[in-house]
Structure 1
Amino acid sequence: MTVPTDSSLAVRRLMADATRWRLAMMLDGNALEAVAWSPGGDDSFIHRRLELDTSSTIALKALEDAVYDTPLLLADYGRVDILVDGDPRLFVPAEAIALDDDCRRTLVEAASPGFTGEILCDSLPAVGGAILSGIDRETLGFLRRTFVNPRISSRLTPPVSYFAAASRRSNSPGIMAVVADGRLDIVAIDGSRLLLANTFRWQSVDDALYYILCVRREATADSAAIYLGGNGPLREELAGKLRRFVTSVMPLVFPSEAFRTGGREAMESPFELVILPLCE
């Protein structure tokens, strides 16, 4: 399958009947990443990255402007998913899912005194837990007003779910590290037990190297294999540095289901958005 580089064919199909399509977006620092696809359809994958100009306006206004200036995002999709960074972010036992809002707020405020935003709760059945994450009230309100019944989740929910499913048959711990410009997501799992999941900001690849080696030492006693994904050139540079210290460094295999839907454009899209439908 070949996807047009400008996605023109896919865009025409989407605008003809958006109810057959899904939209997934991710707030990532000063950018809004978005992918749209038609489940089971050929030539049906679109990726857009919208830079948010926060230099002259507040972050929420920059987000609003980017969304309203992009008609592709405002089509009548059959389903909309939105991933947010979430601050603060807590991993808690699965029992937290049954807690009422006041109890969840007590947990979050204990970790982040003075927090006044809204709280999201994502179930992680593969590891017997959940993620509680905070989001600004105004941002949450805008997302819910603008999109029809959006499912809003922590950005780490898909990577944790995906790697937990992939690690289910393993008898040894593993680390999945997904590198992007200035950001590194690390998930460490031993069987069905979540050891660590976090996002690290970096300024040089050596910073990313340090974070991975520290997690491997502290969470797995230097015993975990490392699976690297994300930005191609950064991933290769990081892999070369890691192999000086760790023998078991392997590429994170790109999901064949995602490639069938989106081809090369999917491979160049944010990993969290690409694997989202595989984690349901």
Structure 2
Amino acid sequence: MRYKILCSDLDGTLLSTKSDVSEFTISEIKRIKNTTRIILVSARMPSGMYYIQENLGILDQPIICYNGALVLHENKVIHSVSIPLTVVRDIYKLTEPLKVDLGLYAHNDWHVPKTSERVEKEIKYTKTIPTFKSTKNSILEWEDKNVGAHKIMIMGTKETADILMPQLNTKFQQELNIYRSNDTLIEVSPKSVSKLSAIKSLLADDETLNDVISFGDNYNDLEMLVNTGCGVAVANGREEVKKSADFVTSHNTEDGVAQYIQQHLHI
């Protein structure tokens, strides 16, 4: 089958380790990239995606960052939707009594109040260094710049996440996507965006979602997998995601995306 566009999630999907693509994946992407547009789609910030684009030889292609809140093409903003700082401040007021840390992301800025095991992992895996600044001062700085947050990462414990999830949903579910990425982490992004909405913004006049094949593993990939021409889940993906996909390939650590490309996508 021929598809005009291939869209792939990174962590747990295209990446065979926590931070890199394999030589097999690189060779398969390079084999098809002249006839298929390759678009990386991730919750990551731009700097955590550029080095992967470079390894794949697709720096001339767009990237979808922050689960669709920011779309860039060769460093130019194609689409951007952010969380207003009034809402960021309200979330800060809600989380501060529980002593959890907020990671604030806007364009290529990443602010955290202090280092932690979680922050050190993200530095290692995304090859990006944050700005260490209190959340209060970060909000004041961004107010001066008149920018909002493309993503908020709430970093606590299982207990604090259990407390915060219902509170966040009650107060903000009409305006925000609130997504628990694991027991201790809650990701927050603008309600009006998704990976699928960002893909739609990149379609040419003669292209439809049926021209897109997509790969993913997690709940934030589900809409993309269900609504594109072919949705492929990796074997390590969430059960609900695998049940909803058109096809399930091997684990990300076994180069599942590259295996599928090799077996099914022909020039």
TM-score, structure 2 normalization: 0.30
Higher strand share: 1
Q: Give the number of the structure whose alpha-carbon radius of gyration is greater.
A: 1
Larger RCO (alpha carbons 8 Å, 6+ apart): 2
TM-score, length-scaled by structure 1: 0.29
